[in-house]
Amino acid sequence: MPRQGLTQRIVVEKAAQLIEETGYGQLTIQALAARLNVKPSSLYKHIDGMEQLTVLLSLLSLERIKTACRQQTAGFFGKDALSRTAFAYRDFALCSPQLYKAMIRVPQLEPNPQLHTSMHELWQMIFEQVLESGISEEEAVHFTRMYRSQLHGFIALEEAGYFTNSDQDREESFRWMVSHLLLILDQVRENRPHIVSERSKNGTSN
Protein backbone atom coordinates (compact mmCIF):
# COMPACT_ATOMS: atom_id res chain seq x y z
CA MET A 1 0.00 0.00 0.00
CA PRO A 2 1.27 3.51 -0.78
CA ARG A 3 2.36 5.55 2.20
CA GLN A 4 -0.55 7.58 3.58
CA GLY A 5 -0.22 11.03 5.14
CA LEU A 6 3.07 11.82 3.42
CA THR A 7 4.40 15.33 4.06
CA GLN A 8 7.47 17.23 2.98
CA ARG A 9 8.91 16.87 6.50
CA ILE A 10 8.52 13.09 6.40
CA VAL A 11 10.13 12.96 2.96
CA VAL A 12 13.15 14.97 4.13
CA GLU A 13 13.59 13.05 7.37
CA LYS A 14 13.40 9.75 5.50
CA ALA A 15 15.98 11.08 3.04
CA ALA A 16 18.21 11.93 6.01
CA GLN A 17 17.91 8.36 7.28
CA LEU A 18 18.62 6.99 3.83
CA ILE A 19 21.82 8.96 3.25
CA GLU A 20 23.21 7.79 6.59
CA GLU A 21 22.75 4.22 5.37
CA THR A 22 23.86 4.55 1.77
CA GLY A 23 25.89 7.76 1.56
CA TYR A 24 25.11 11.35 0.65
CA GLY A 25 26.11 10.89 -2.95
CA GLN A 26 23.87 7.84 -3.44
CA LEU A 27 20.56 9.60 -2.82
CA THR A 28 18.13 9.55 -5.73
CA ILE A 29 14.43 10.21 -6.11
CA GLN A 30 13.95 6.57 -7.08
CA ALA A 31 15.74 5.24 -4.00
CA LEU A 32 13.85 7.59 -1.70
CA ALA A 33 10.51 6.65 -3.28
CA ALA A 34 11.28 2.96 -2.79
CA ARG A 35 12.11 3.57 0.87
CA LEU A 36 8.81 5.41 1.33
CA ASN A 37 6.89 2.79 -0.65
CA VAL A 38 5.53 5.31 -3.12
CA LYS A 39 5.98 5.97 -6.81
CA PRO A 40 8.71 8.47 -7.68
CA SER A 41 6.06 10.74 -9.20
CA SER A 42 4.35 10.95 -5.80
CA LEU A 43 7.37 12.68 -4.29
CA TYR A 44 6.96 15.62 -6.65
CA LYS A 45 3.84 16.60 -4.73
CA HIS A 46 6.19 17.47 -1.85
CA ILE A 47 9.49 18.42 -3.48
CA ASP A 48 10.45 19.89 -6.84
CA GLY A 49 13.32 17.46 -7.35
CA MET A 50 16.82 16.64 -6.16
CA GLU A 51 17.92 20.27 -6.06
CA GLN A 52 15.22 21.22 -3.57
CA LEU A 53 15.73 18.00 -1.62
CA THR A 54 19.41 18.83 -1.25
CA VAL A 55 18.50 22.27 0.10
CA LEU A 56 15.98 20.79 2.51
CA LEU A 57 18.52 18.27 3.79
CA SER A 58 20.98 21.09 4.42
CA LEU A 59 18.29 23.03 6.29
CA LEU A 60 17.50 19.95 8.39
CA SER A 61 21.17 19.50 9.18
CA LEU A 62 21.51 23.12 10.27
CA GLU A 63 18.34 22.91 12.32
CA ARG A 64 19.58 19.84 14.17
CA ILE A 65 23.10 21.08 14.83
CA LYS A 66 21.84 24.44 16.11
CA THR A 67 19.36 22.69 18.39
CA ALA A 68 22.07 20.40 19.74
CA CYS A 69 24.43 23.29 20.41
CA ARG A 70 21.75 25.41 22.07
CA GLN A 71 20.70 22.56 24.32
CA GLN A 72 24.27 21.96 25.43
CA THR A 73 25.09 25.63 26.02
CA ALA A 74 21.92 26.77 27.81
CA GLY A 75 23.04 28.80 30.82
CA PHE A 76 26.69 28.93 29.73
CA PHE A 77 28.59 31.87 28.25
CA GLY A 78 31.90 32.77 26.66
CA LYS A 79 34.59 30.09 26.75
CA ASP A 80 32.36 27.65 28.65
CA ALA A 81 29.74 27.92 25.91
CA LEU A 82 32.36 27.58 23.18
CA SER A 83 33.73 24.42 24.76
CA ARG A 84 30.28 22.85 25.00
CA THR A 85 29.46 23.96 21.45
CA ALA A 86 32.59 22.24 20.18
CA PHE A 87 31.59 18.91 21.69
CA ALA A 88 27.97 19.21 20.54
CA TYR A 89 29.17 20.10 17.03
CA ARG A 90 31.46 17.07 16.86
CA ASP A 91 28.89 14.74 18.40
CA PHE A 92 26.43 15.73 15.69
CA ALA A 93 29.01 15.14 12.96
CA LEU A 94 29.90 11.71 14.36
CA CYS A 95 26.29 10.61 14.82
CA SER A 96 25.08 11.98 11.48
CA PRO A 97 28.15 12.16 9.22
CA GLN A 98 26.20 12.28 5.96
CA LEU A 99 23.83 14.95 7.18
CA TYR A 100 26.86 16.88 8.39
CA LYS A 101 28.19 16.72 4.82
CA ALA A 102 24.91 18.26 3.66
CA MET A 103 25.59 21.24 5.91
CA ILE A 104 29.23 21.63 4.90
CA ARG A 105 28.28 21.70 1.21
CA VAL A 106 25.89 24.63 1.61
CA PRO A 107 28.26 27.14 -0.09
CA GLN A 108 28.32 24.89 -3.17
CA LEU A 109 24.55 25.12 -3.62
CA GLU A 110 22.67 27.77 -5.50
CA PRO A 111 22.01 30.88 -3.37
CA ASN A 112 18.99 30.32 -1.16
CA PRO A 113 17.61 32.85 1.37
CA GLN A 114 16.53 30.19 3.87
CA LEU A 115 19.91 28.49 3.78
CA HIS A 116 21.71 31.80 4.08
CA THR A 117 19.63 32.75 7.12
CA SER A 118 20.04 29.38 8.80
CA MET A 119 23.78 29.24 8.21
CA HIS A 120 24.15 32.80 9.49
CA GLU A 121 22.27 31.86 12.67
CA LEU A 122 24.81 29.11 13.36
CA TRP A 123 27.71 31.46 12.68
CA GLN A 124 26.11 34.20 14.80
CA MET A 125 25.58 31.84 17.73
CA ILE A 126 29.29 30.98 17.80
CA PHE A 127 30.31 34.58 17.11
CA GLU A 128 28.33 35.85 20.09
CA GLN A 129 29.93 33.25 22.34
CA VAL A 130 33.32 34.47 21.18
CA LEU A 131 32.38 38.10 21.85
CA GLU A 132 31.34 37.13 25.38
CA SER A 133 34.96 36.21 26.03
CA GLY A 134 35.86 39.91 25.87
CA ILE A 135 37.59 40.41 22.53
CA SER A 136 36.73 42.91 19.81
CA GLU A 137 34.34 42.23 16.93
CA GLU A 138 37.19 42.19 14.41
CA GLU A 139 39.13 39.71 16.54
CA ALA A 140 35.96 37.67 17.05
CA VAL A 141 35.50 37.26 13.28
CA HIS A 142 39.03 35.86 12.94
CA PHE A 143 38.66 33.60 15.95
CA THR A 144 35.26 32.28 14.84
CA ARG A 145 36.72 31.31 11.48
CA MET A 146 39.67 29.62 13.16
CA TYR A 147 37.41 27.84 15.65
CA ARG A 148 35.17 26.39 12.96
CA SER A 149 38.17 25.45 10.83
CA GLN A 150 39.75 23.56 13.73
CA LEU A 151 36.54 21.68 14.50
CA HIS A 152 35.90 20.74 10.89
CA GLY A 153 39.52 19.74 10.33
CA PHE A 154 39.48 17.36 13.27
CA ILE A 155 36.09 15.94 12.25
CA ALA A 156 37.14 15.49 8.61
CA LEU A 157 40.36 13.67 9.53
CA GLU A 158 38.52 11.55 12.08
CA GLU A 159 35.83 10.62 9.54
CA ALA A 160 38.54 9.73 7.01
CA GLY A 161 40.00 7.18 9.42
CA TYR A 162 42.89 9.05 11.02
CA PHE A 163 43.73 9.16 14.75
CA THR A 164 43.48 5.38 15.14
CA ASN A 165 47.14 4.26 15.15
CA SER A 166 48.27 5.73 18.43
CA ASP A 167 48.14 4.97 22.13
CA GLN A 168 46.75 8.47 22.68
CA ASP A 169 42.97 8.54 22.96
CA ARG A 170 41.39 10.71 20.26
CA GLU A 171 38.74 11.91 22.72
CA GLU A 172 41.55 13.27 24.83
CA SER A 173 43.12 14.79 21.71
CA PHE A 174 39.88 16.61 20.94
CA ARG A 175 39.59 17.89 24.51
CA TRP A 176 43.22 19.02 24.35
CA MET A 177 42.64 20.83 21.06
CA VAL A 178 39.53 22.64 22.29
CA SER A 179 41.03 23.67 25.63
CA HIS A 180 44.20 25.02 24.03
CA LEU A 181 42.26 26.71 21.26
CA LEU A 182 40.23 28.62 23.84
CA LEU A 183 43.43 29.73 25.61
CA ILE A 184 44.07 31.89 22.55
CA LEU A 185 41.18 34.11 23.63
CA ASP A 186 43.05 34.94 26.83
CA GLN A 187 46.20 35.65 24.87
CA VAL A 188 44.35 37.99 22.53
CA ARG A 189 43.01 40.01 25.45
CA GLU A 190 46.36 40.08 27.22
CA ASN A 191 48.34 41.06 24.14
CA ARG A 192 45.95 43.71 22.82
CA PRO A 193 47.53 46.69 24.68
CA HIS A 194 50.97 45.58 23.49
CA ILE A 195 49.77 45.24 19.91
CA VAL A 196 48.15 48.67 19.99
CA SER A 197 51.28 50.30 21.40
CA GLU A 198 53.47 48.67 18.76
CA ARG A 199 51.17 49.93 16.00
CA SER A 200 51.28 53.38 17.48
CA LYS A 201 55.07 53.31 17.56
CA ASN A 202 55.22 52.22 13.94
CA GLY A 203 52.64 54.76 12.85
CA THR A 204 50.40 52.09 11.32
CA SER A 205 46.63 52.04 11.49
CA ASN A 206 45.53 48.80 9.79
Structural domain boundaries of the chain? Answer: 1-47, 55-202
> What does the pLDDT read at residue 193?
55
Residue 78 half-sphere exposure, CB side, CA atoms within 13 Å? 9
* H-assigned helices in 46-136: 50-73, 78-95, 97-104, 113-131
Is the Cβ–Cβ distance between 72 and 127 less than 8 Å? no
Between 123 and 109, the higher pLDDT residue: 123
pLDDT at 203 over 60: no
pLDDT, residue 153, reads 97
Q: How far apart, in Å, are the Cα atoms of 200 and each of 23, 120, 139?
A: 55, 35, 18
pLDDT at 190 exceeding the cut of 90: no
Q: Which fold has domain 1-47?
A: Arc Repressor Mutant, subunit A (1.10.10)
Between helix 137-159 and helix 97-104 the angle, nearest 10°, is 140
Full-model pTM: 0.86
Fold of 55-202: Tetracycline Repressor; domain 2 (1.10.357)
Q: What pLDDT shows up at residue 49?
A: 93
> Is the distance from CB of 128 to CB of 82 less than 8 angstroms?
no
Question: How far apart, in whole angstroms, are the C-alpha atoms of residue 42 and residue 18?
Answer: 18
pLDDT score, position 192: 67
The whole-number pLDDT of residue 143 equals 97
- Cβ atoms of 63 and 108 within 8 Å: the answer is no
Q: Predicted confidence band at 3 (pLDDT cuts at 50, 70, 90)?
A: low
CA–CA gap between residue 154 and residue 170 (Å, rounded): 10
pLDDT at 199: 38
